[in-house]
Structure 1
Amino acid sequence: MPQLPAPDYPADVRARLEADAREVIARYPGSRSALLPLLHLVQAEEGHVTRTGIRFCAELLDLTTAEVTAVSTFYSMYRRRAGGDYQVGVCTNTLCAVMGGDAIFDELKRHLGVENGETTEDGTVTLEHIECNAACDFAPVVMVNWEFFDNQTPETAKRLVDDLMAGRTVEPTRGAPLCSYKETSRILAGFPDERPGAVEATGGAGPASLVGLRLAKGEVAPGRSTDHVIAPRTPAAGPTDEPPGGHPEEPPPSGHPSSHDAPQKTADSDPDHPAGPIAEEGE
């Protein structure tokens, strides 16, 4: 049996979406490059990407509905069916998992009575496991509509979803104030978040992730005395004596930017498991 054509939006909704879509499309040199934000735009209208939304995107971008469907089903941030007002994602990638993410996810499934990708009976919470969201410093991490809730435990995560379902105010650990899934989708479409506190909100990585940046700026290496200041690397002034492999014959002198990382002749770096001197080739 052939599938019926997708219905169109009501005239007033269509006019409003078209005005927003034209604004988005104008940001790109080629119209088809606007497909990802347009999918967020139609998702903001109905809470998931419907056949109507796919048809809308295809018409405005001069694409086929097959091309739009292929993109909307490839990326996990686009819903294929209706979900809750709050998408609660538990990171179960390696670091969060070993720090307790798996336990949190299992406990929330039991507590909410849902499985991965399912929504609670009251339509408030959709639970899913998510991949790494670059918040490893704060593992295990739970995200609600892509806002961070750091250093969670099964108990704090249960309180979080209980507060969401009860309509109580919930504050993310960092970043912007929490909003609904539809509101989040509109922000991801590229429209400004004008809510009080949203503009001033800041997130950012934790101290462990910023070590490399500190080293690049020549700041003191963490955990080391002020004698070990890491200087920015500069190009060599002339030919070097390095062998073809690119490594110096001897470890750099003490105080050199890389002295603490240089190969050692013994296992001094692991005092709990000492070893004898490393044999040179030919010995």
Structure 2
Amino acid sequence: MPLPGSGKTVTIKSFIPDSGTELIELTRPLDSWLEHVEFRALLQRLSPENILWLFASAVLERRIIFVAEELSVLSQCIHAVAALLYPFSWAHTYIPVVPECLIDTVCCPTPFMVGVQKRCLEQVLDQPMEEVLLVDLCEGTFLRSVGDEGNILPAKLHTEMLTSLKTHNSNNNIQTSEQVNTHVSEAFIQFFVKTVGHYTSHLKWNKSGQGSFQEKAFCKDVTSKSCRKFVKRFVRTQMFSLFIQEAERSRITQEGYFQRKVTEYQEQKKKQRRNS
């Protein structure tokens, strides 16, 4: 049986002794970015400020190395950072735990997100690396950085996300992993909603149904200067390019969680304009 498409339901017949045949309906989620994600692991090891520096580096597809003693910490934290990029996907080298024999991977000139054990740190530091963010998850610090990580994100949105992450740390009502994941992811989803959520307005379609993204008009449509500066850098990334290529294939908007948030935000802005 083929795997159902996102949001689609498949019916399975199941024979249960003494009960007979039963029909079981299984619905595939529209989005699965929070499956097997544990943001709490990242929050326990890095401050909100450092998480935003890390996010900014990932958004611009830079080279990022995570260092920790435990393999589980490496895999959990790297997976969490990748999930923060939703609705976009990391499109480059991604190795949660690099074997010692492949430490030379950190010399790769292309973007990567990799994890190495603490015992291999000296080997990593001996490698000729440029423009790398080296994250020590044991100490919660950066051993190396490019230097501009704090200036990549638009100031207003940076402050909003920082406030949201700090609220998590002081909110005793948030206890379960699901609640933590929802609270944290919402802050980053709103960031993308406010910076690039208007992308559908700049897709033009020909008679054959092929879409064409109008990049210049898309960037110009961003009113905030700081946001426009960020967007002009972000549209050059591979993850944005792949996202747009997928959007150009179908005129039917994918009704995933991100698109629902975009619609809610746009409706809110319309309501504010009517009331002003």
Q: Could you say whether these structures have the same fold, taking a TM-score greater than 0.5 normalized by the shorter chain as the test?
A: no
Q: Which has the higher helix share?
A: 2
Normalising by the residue count of structure 2, what TM-score does the alignment of the two structures yield? 0.22
Structure with the bigger RCO (C-alpha within 8 Å, sep 6+) is 2
Q: Which has the higher strand share?
A: 2
